[in-house]
Amino acid sequence: MRGRGGARGSRTPSAPWSRLKPVDLDPLESMGLPSKGDSRLLDFKTQERYYTKIVERYMTFCSDAGERDELLRRFASLELSTISKHENSIAKVIPSSSSLVSNRLSMAPATIPSNTKGLSDVLSALRKLREGIVASKRVDDFAIQVYLFCIRLSVLVRHPESYHPAILHLLRRIQPLHSMTSVEMSEVVGYLVLDTACRRNDLAEAFAVRHKYRLRDAKVDMVLDALAHDNYIEFNRLKRRVDGHKAKLLEYADEGMRKHLLKCFGRAYLSVDLDFLESCADSKWGSLTAEDGVGWELDGGKVVIRKVKAR
């Protein structure tokens, strides 16, 4: 005889919730921002475990890319997607405060290339971890390690909203209490000097930062000299000689320097060999006309810049 609810004897009906699959939470996304009330990342051990997961995700991203060229392409894809979102934003000038990083990292899924989502998740997680380190007032080797990792990665994807505040916190808050090595110090100050000169276009401040932190880096000095003299040919040569991180920072000044070079050609020449122009500008004719707005005429292997008026 069945009891109420159709159960046989003492057997109880199955709970409907038991049929649901457990939610598979992403370990990086499961953590919330300390500034939004999630206090889990204030614990030092939790911070270290979370950082391990971040590094694992980053290594997986690099492994999935395979070849170096594909990895660089994915870095560039994320860079382009974040720049596109930034340009469409109402606020064109964003302060370098770490509290605003989420505006760029919390992109809608449709705007993030599928093969770069892993990298976007890493950047978002690093922001949470940095907030936890700041809120817990942690100043030790681990804090330096996290900040260096964040800075290097953010520079590679040209994400100043991440690397600029991280550099400032590292130099102003952590370094005075827990020193970096001389190599690490030179690296970070070099990034700050180049970012100031190339992205922020403030040469005077760049020289001041170099003097303040007593930076001794011959390549950084040569870059500053090239910028001060508007020497695009030397600047372009140095871009190939510096490491990949510094080369990314130099890209901010590339367009402005090349346009200045083209203006010099316009003032100094009536015509010039196409090969010579492309070599000096480090750009093909098609790019010069489409991207740099060059309106000169191409006549075979020569570029006619100005025509002499007949009297």
State mean pLDDT over 48-56.
94
What's the confidence (pLDDT) of residue 78? 55
pLDDT at residue 50 above 90?
yes
What's the confidence (pLDDT) of residue 63? 77
Question: Nearest 5°: phi and psi at 3?
Answer: -85, -175
pLDDT at residue 107 above 80?
no
- The domain ranges of the chain are 269-311
Does 111 or 224 have the greater pLDDT score?
Answer: 224
Do residues 223 and 210 lie in contact, with contact meaning Cβ atoms separated by under 8 Å? no
Across 96-105, 121-130, 192-201, least confident range: 96-105
* Widest CA span in the chain: 118
Assigned token pair, 228: 């001060």
What's the confidence (pLDDT) of residue 91? 30
pLDDT at residue 74 above 90?
no
pLDDT at residue 94 above 50?
no
What are the pLDDT digits (tens) for 239-276?
A: 999 999 999 999 999 999 999 999 999 999 999 999 99
Assigned token pair, 202: 């403030």
The three-state DSSP-derived secondary structure of 163-225 is HHHHHHHHHHHHCCCCCCCHHHHHHHHHHHHHHHHHHCCCHHHHHHHHHHCCCCCHHHHHHHH
What's the confidence (pLDDT) of residue 246? 96
Name the strand (E) or helix (H) holding 304.
strand 302-304
Assigned token pair, 107: 């992109």
pLDDT at residue 13 above 80?
no
Across 103-107, 167-171, 235-239, 259-263, least confident range: 103-107
State mean pLDDT over 52-57.
92
| Cross-strand pairs, 304 | 271, 297
Buried b (16+ CB within 10 A) or exposed e, 170-206: bbebbbeeeebeeebbbbbbbbbbbbbbbbeeeeeeb
Q: Is the pTM of this model over 0.75?
A: yes
Across 5-19, 193-207, 232-246, least confident range: 5-19
Using CA atoms, how far residue 224 sits from 103, 163, 199, in Å, is 32, 20, 13
What's the confidence (pLDDT) of residue 29? 87
What's the confidence (pLDDT) of residue 69? 62
pLDDT at residue 17 above 80?
no
What's the confidence (pLDDT) of residue 292? 86
